[in-house]
Amino acid sequence: MLKNATPRQLAFFAAFGIAISFIFFSTIILFIFQLKIDLQLIVVTSILVSLLSYVVFYYVLKIYIYRKVKLVYKNIHRLKLVGSEKASSTDIDMNEDIISQVQSEVKNWAEDQEREIKQLKTMEDYRRNFVGNVSHELKTPLFTVQGYIHTLLEGGLYDEKINMSFLKKAARGVNRLQSIVEDLDVITQLESGNLEMEFSEFPIKKLVEEVFEELEIFAKEKNISLEFKEGTDSNFMVSADRDNINIVLVNLILNSIKYGIENGHTKVSFYDMDKHVLIEVSDNGIGIKAEHLGHVFDRFYRVDSSGSRSAGGSGLGLSIVKHILEGHRQTVNARSREGMGSTFGFTLKKI
């Protein structure tokens, strides 16, 4: 009963206890000294004592204990509700269970602080890793371009055996730098919300066919067939930003070609998910190890550093895919078995 007592209740119980004690000890003392026991006088005196005790306890609790506790409570509360009338109030409601309020507020505040600290540490680790990854990704093509240009300036420009070859290699390095910078700019705009989505209705199969045509030349280099999975090639109408979904499909299909096997295949399939359409891009390529699968959408994450760089790209493609689909409020996922191929799937709103 006293566990969650208010200040008034505590003062009342204390006064009641003193009154009972006064009656008890007064009766014993009168009995010991064989004095006349006047019950009416004892009761009246005990009432006066209890009233006096109540007032004393009440104001002691209010002034010396609860006021200070309330200040702690309000300081914590003010951190959560800066500028609110409730946070700046200095009145103390002695009918409230202030101790329990403070306990609850301190616990919630501590939990919030712990979550915020963890989030800040995570963000700091992410920022540190991101800066390191950007530096590492830019350094390789930059040093390559620098090396070729210096060689040409030191006389290689006049050597017909190497001048055109070195210029082409330097140009490829510049193109890679440009690709990284452009992809970083796209991700920045997506994260900041500055890249607005322009939704329209269009047939998703038609868009995939256009991407197939665009990437056909890359597929022929490895004799990889681009096709629709039999039985799952219905022409659904979807609502999305067509240009950005084109970027998603190009990234997923191009990846399946890069990491596919010679004479392999890339298949696109569509599945009716009631209000959504599930689009999957599958291949029978090298696959992804289980420990890497959860990180494939991270920026610059390389499943196989040497293989990834030799295949080209900025290392930001799948991260862009994830951000574009999050901008559509849709999901993207990956499943894979090493040596068996990979499947990337995402959803779009169906019309």
Q: Which domains are delineated in the chain?
A: 7-96 (no CATH), 127-192 (1.10.287.130), 199-350 (3.30.565.10)
Helix axes 204-221, 242-258, angle to 10 degrees: 30
Q: 55: helix, coil or strand?
A: helix
Separation CA 165–CA 38 (nearest Å): 120
Residue-wise burial string across 289-318, b where 16 or more C-beta atoms lie within 10 A, e elsewhere: eeebbeebbbbbbbbeeeebeeeebbbbbb
CA atoms within 13 A on the CB side of 114: 6
- pTM of the prediction? 0.57
CB 271 within 8 A of CB 231: no
Tell me the pairing of strands 265-273 and 225-228.
parallel
CB 207 within 8 A of CB 242: yes
Annotate 313-325 with DSSP letters as a single string.
S-S-HHHHHHHHH
* Secondary structure E strands in the chain: 199-203, 225-228, 237-241, 265-273, 276-283, 332-337, 341-350
- pLDDT by residue for the chain (351 residues), tens only, comes to 555 667 677 778 888 888 888 888 887 887 777 667 677 777 788 888 888 888 888 777 776 666 666 666 666 666 665 544 444 444 545 555 666 666 677 777 778 888 888 878 877 776 676 676 677 677 878 888 999 899 989 888 888 888 899 999 899 888 878 877 877 777 777 777 666 788 999 999 999 999 999 999 999 999 999 999 988 878 899 999 999 999 999 999 999 998 899 999 999 999 999 899 999 999 999 888 888 888 888 876 666 544 444 455 556 788 889 989 988 999 999 999 888 899 999 999 998
Give the phi and the psi of residue 36 in degrees, each rounded to 5. -70, 130
CB 52 within 8 A of CB 1: no
